[in-house]
């Protein structure tokens, strides 16, 4: 077996399967994107061995581990052989210690060449944070709620631009209504790992579009190193009239269950004010989505203005549009970027 650091382990020979030998609960909390869980121990077994280690020491814990694993070594080896590609596997555990070492030993007994992650998942996470800190050529797309930024990012990708869809990876659109129509959110760890995997697919020497977001997106958190990179990167702000944004939001949320919309509205009562929230609830009850949306945008526009002024280090370049069409707005953004000199980004 061969040990290597996270940069080589992740980036080189991506076609070689990743095997995560940690327990199922460790894997569910967060794993390297694309890794397959082939646990050495179940959660309950890992807990028993850990308790024995604390109470009786290393040797009794190892003996118990051998007793547990022994009967299923053949099955594990067969699974490893079925997963291997070109006779190779990449193997990791939490710290690159005994679990990954022993599983790799077993795999190599049946002819599989193993690359083991030195420092394990913990080392990968440290590398991830550094990679986000060093991410350059970001262009931050910002605009008030209802501007259609996520759709625009998708169109930019269609047009050959590089784009990162934070909301898609987070399965949340960021607001109190952001969960509507989305899948269950991943854990913060998994969101960050998936985001890292996406970034590794991009060319760091070309511009990368990314939406301006809060540190938290629903229940998940961005890596703080990426958050800092976003706050210090060049910004393009899309300015779209409120009436156009209202139309778009009514189309997007108009078919949602009214009770779900009411529940989401109540979440902002403390910050927006109970009086205004009650007005929104009344409009929703009457089926007047336009006025409900207009009132909600009063709240979100103030919140947007505050957050941009507080956290962003650079002044945005403004791109005005009277259209809600993401193709038109994507073309406007690209055109503006091509016109901007380096001095204007300062």
- The span from the CA of 145 to the CA of 178, in Å, is 11
C-alpha distances out from residue 231 to 53, 137, 213, 225, Å:
46, 13, 10, 10
**Which runs of consecutive H residues, i.e. helices, occur in 70-209?**
73-83, 98-109, 120-133, 149-158, 166-170, 188-200
Tens of pLDDT along 22-78?
Answer: 999 999 999 999 999 999 999 998 888 888 888 988 888 888 888 888 878 999 999
Structure tokens at 74: 């053949």
Are 2-128 and 137-345 in the same CATH fold?
no
CATH match for 2-128 among 3.40.250.10, 3.30.200.20, 3.30.2130.10, 3.30.390.50:
3.40.250.10
Q: Indicate the average pLDDT of the chain.
A: 93
For the chain, give percent helix, strand, coil, nearest 5.
Answer: 55, 15, 30
Q: Mean pLDDT for each 10-residue chunk of the chain (346 residues)? A: 94 95 97 96 89 87 83 91 97 94 94 97 96 92 95 97 97 93 96 97 95 94 94 94 97 93 95 94 96 95 81 89 97 92 56
Q: Specify the pLDDT at position 342.
A: 55
Q: Which of 93, 114, 171, 199 is catalytic?
A: 93
Q: Specify the pLDDT at position 81.
A: 96
Q: What is the CATH number of domain 137-345?
A: 3.40.50.300
Structure tokens at 257: 């269950």
Q: Specify the pLDDT at position 345.
A: 57
CA angle, 337 as apex, 332 and 340 as ends, to 5°?
A: 125
- Global confidence as pTM: 0.91
Would you call 114 a catalytic residue per the annotation? no
Spans of all domains in the chain:
2-128, 137-345
Q: Specify the pLDDT at position 37.
A: 98
Tens of pLDDT along 219-241?
Answer: 999 999 999 999 999 999 999 99
């Amino acid at each position: 077996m061969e040990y290597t650091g996270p940069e080589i382990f992740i980036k080189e020979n991506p076609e070689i399967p990743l095997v995560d030998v940690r327990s199922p609960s460790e894997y569910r909390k967060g794993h390297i994107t694309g890794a397959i869980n082939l646990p050495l121990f179940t959660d309950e077994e890992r807990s028993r061995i850990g308790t024995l280690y604390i109470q009786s020491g290393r040797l009794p814990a190892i003996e118990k581990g051998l007793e547990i694993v022994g009967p299923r070594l053949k099955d594990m080896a067969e699974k490893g052989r079925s997963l291997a590609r070109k006779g190779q596997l990449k193997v990791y555990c939490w710290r690159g210690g005994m679990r990954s070492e022993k599983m790799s030993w077993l795999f190599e007994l049946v002819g599989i060449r193993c690359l083991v992650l030195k420092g394990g998942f913990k080392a990968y996470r440290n590398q991830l944070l550094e990679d986000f800190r060093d991410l350059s050529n970001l262009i931050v797309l910002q605009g008030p709620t209802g501007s259609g930024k996520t759709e625009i990012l998708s169109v930019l990708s269609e047009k050959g631009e590089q784009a990162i869809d934070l909301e898609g990876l987070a399965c949340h659109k960021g607001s109190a209504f952001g969960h509507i129509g989305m899948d269950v959110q991943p854990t913060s760890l998994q969101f960050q790992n998936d985001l890292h995997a996406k970034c590794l697919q991009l060319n760091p020497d070309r511009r990368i579009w990314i939406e301006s977001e809060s540190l938290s997106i629903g229940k998940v958190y961005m890596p703080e190193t990426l958050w800092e990179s976003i706050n210090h990167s060049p910004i393009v702000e899309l300015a779209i009239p409120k009436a156009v944004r209202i139309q778009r939001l009514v189309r997007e949320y108009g078919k949602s269950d009214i009770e779900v919309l009411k529940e989401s509205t109540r979440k902002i009562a403390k910050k927006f004010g109970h009086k205004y929230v009650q007005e929104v609830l009344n409009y929703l009850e009457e089926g007047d989505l336009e006025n409900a949306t207009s009132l909600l945008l009063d709240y979100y526009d103030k919140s947007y203005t505050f957050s941009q002024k507080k956290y962003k280090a650079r002044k945005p370049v403004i791109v005005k549009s009277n259209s809600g069409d993401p193709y038109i707005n994507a073309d406007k953004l690209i055109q503006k970027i091509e016109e901007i000199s380096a001095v204007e980004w300062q």
